[in-house]
Structure 1
Amino acid sequence: MNKTKLLFISTLVFLASSISSFAKGLPQEYYKIQNTKKSKAYFFDYIYKLNEQENIKILADREFVKSILSGNILHIDFQAPSFSRLLKIRKKYRVKNLYSLESYLRKVDIVPPAMAIAQAAVESGWGRSRFIKEANNVFGHWTYNPSIGMMPENRDEGATHFIRIFKTIQDSISAYMLNLNRNRAYKEFQNKRYELREKGIKPGGLELSQTMLNYSGIGHDYLGILKNVIEKNKLLEFDKKFYNKLNTK
């Protein structure tokens, strides 16, 4: 075995051992809850708090972009730290036109808590799937990089994908939200949310969940499942909670 290949394998082993040391899944106290109602309440609150943190970060970037691009772009100081921040946001969200405020506003926006919680419940089996317990992967993200992934069980012959491993559940939720905000597959979600904003309507989880046709291979059945989870568990209350918190700031 040549030195280059040996070094590559050693690197993978090191990364794998480092990844295995991460805390996995929801807090252990969650898995000890026997009562279904209490278990759901814990899950909802836990995911809500992480979603809220990411949404607040997103809204900070959104307001920043509006403050920069709402005025005369000829007055932008290209040497200022604010311009550097704009470039980072543009790259992060894959915005084509640097100076198009509308392009940013379509992508740099929240994922409503009700929708995020419902998808987290469905995709992670209420926090009990192998993906979340072994990889902190809440939403079923794939990767083709074996150094940050684990082998899926029953992977099709010839397939090369892995299940993405995240350091924390927060990282998984952050990746999920960024994926929805910049991926062309979710353009319907981005556009619908923008249309609601233009009408002065706060984006809601139930309505936007019905744009997730491309998220799952089961098609329209997936939309029905999300709708049922949101309505049955009254998850729109978490949308209200989030918007009420914004109004009190």
Structure 2
Amino acid sequence: MRKLIYFFFFAVVLILASCTYYQFHLESRSTVENKQPQGISVEEAPDFKAIKNLAQRKHAFFSYLKPGIRYENQRTQKERDFLLNSRKGIESGQLSQAEVQQLAELSLLYSVKIPVEGPDLVWLDRMLHKVDVLPEALVLIQAANESAWGTSRFAREANNYFGQWCYQKGCGLVPLARETGMTHEVAKFKSVQESIHRYFINVNRNRAYRELRNIRYQLRNEGEDLFSNQSAIQLTNGLTKYSERGVDYVKSLQAMVRHNQKYWEDAPEEAPKTVK
């Protein structure tokens, strides 16, 4: 029975791999292209540039992004819960076909290769390092930093609130100050929600942010509240590679968390809409 399960598992993996092979090369990465999340989404962005009062702009910015961030955390938590609930089946080899297929999909989405013998507890632990929530404060502050509070060209014209790059010609907007010889563009998204979704996947999957995931894993094991502002500050230490500024970038994020706490805590959350 166990051999049949493993055979089915790898058949699913091969099918999924063949379907995503084109995307691997399209993005010049060994990662799977993510589907646009369905369900709760933020509305079309307001004109933040027209809000001249800085305090009001910050309130509006945080209120606008909260529902989308909350949705992504709920999505990620569901994936994590599924992995945790699969532990007994992985240990015993008694996984259903539906469980096998979903594990295969998650393994590709988060770029964690499954052992030849099938998923084991070591593989599961590696997955649990990646599939986890992000503090709302961290996401809000990075969005504020990277998009200049929603006023940047990339936020307004490309729905890109996190400065995310792409490498296929025409995939986004060419930075005006791009250095000679550089070929990257700033990715263009269909919606702000897609930008938030891709940010989550990037931070949870990219090897550049492994230190952030290790910090988060330790905090969870110590029973700390991952949604606290203090956790957000600690996780910024794993983002030195997010910007060429390195440590200075991290320090600026930490200062922003401390100085803007009152704005997101007081900001009313906009009512979400349903994505059709």
TM-score in terms of structure 2 length: 0.72
Higher helix share: 1
Deviation at 1:58, TM superposition (A): 0.3
- Once the two structures are overlaid, the 10-residue window that deviates more, 127-136 or 144-153, is 144-153
Structure 2: stretches of 5+ with no match in the other structure? 1-42, 269-276
Q: Name 1:205's counterpart in structure 2.
A: 232
Structure number with the bigger relative contact order (C-alpha 8 A, sep ≥ 6) is: 2
Q: Name 1:76's counterpart in structure 2.
A: 95
Q: Name 2:105's counterpart in structure 1.
A: 88
AA paired with 1:232? Answer: H
Distance 1:96 1:193, change over 3 A: same
How many residues get paired? 213
Say if 1:230 and 1:236, in contact at 8 Å, map to a contact too.
no
Q: Name 1:9's counterpart in structure 2.
A: none
RMSD over aligned Cα, in angstroms?
Answer: 2.1
After TM superposition, list the pairs within 5 Å mapping 1:154-173 onto structure 2. 154-173=177-196
| SS of equivalent residue, structure 1 residue 213 | coil
Q: Name 1:119's counterpart in structure 2.
A: 142
Q: Name 1:51's counterpart in structure 2.
A: 69
Q: Distance in 1 between matches of 2:183 and 2:51?
A: 37
Say if 1:55 and 1:110, in contact at 8 Å, map to a contact too.
yes
Distance 1:29 1:160, change over 3 A: closer
Distance 1:113 1:133, change over 3 A: same
Deviation at 1:235, TM superposition (A): 6.4
Q: Name 1:215's counterpart in structure 2.
A: 242
Deviation at 1:26, TM superposition (A): 5.8
TM-score in terms of structure 1 length: 0.80
AA paired with 1:83? Answer: V
- State the Cα deviation string for residues 48-95 of structure 1 (Å, max 9, x = none): 221111010000000011111244341113xx2222111111110111
Say if 1:205 and 1:236, in contact at 8 Å, map to a contact too.
no
- State the Cα deviation string for residues 183-230 of structure 1 (Å, max 9, x = none): 111010011101111111122211111221111111111111111110
Task: Say yes or no: does 1:60 pair with 2:78.
Answer: yes
Which residue, 173, 177, 193 being the options, matches 1:150? 173
AA paired with 1:170? Answer: Q
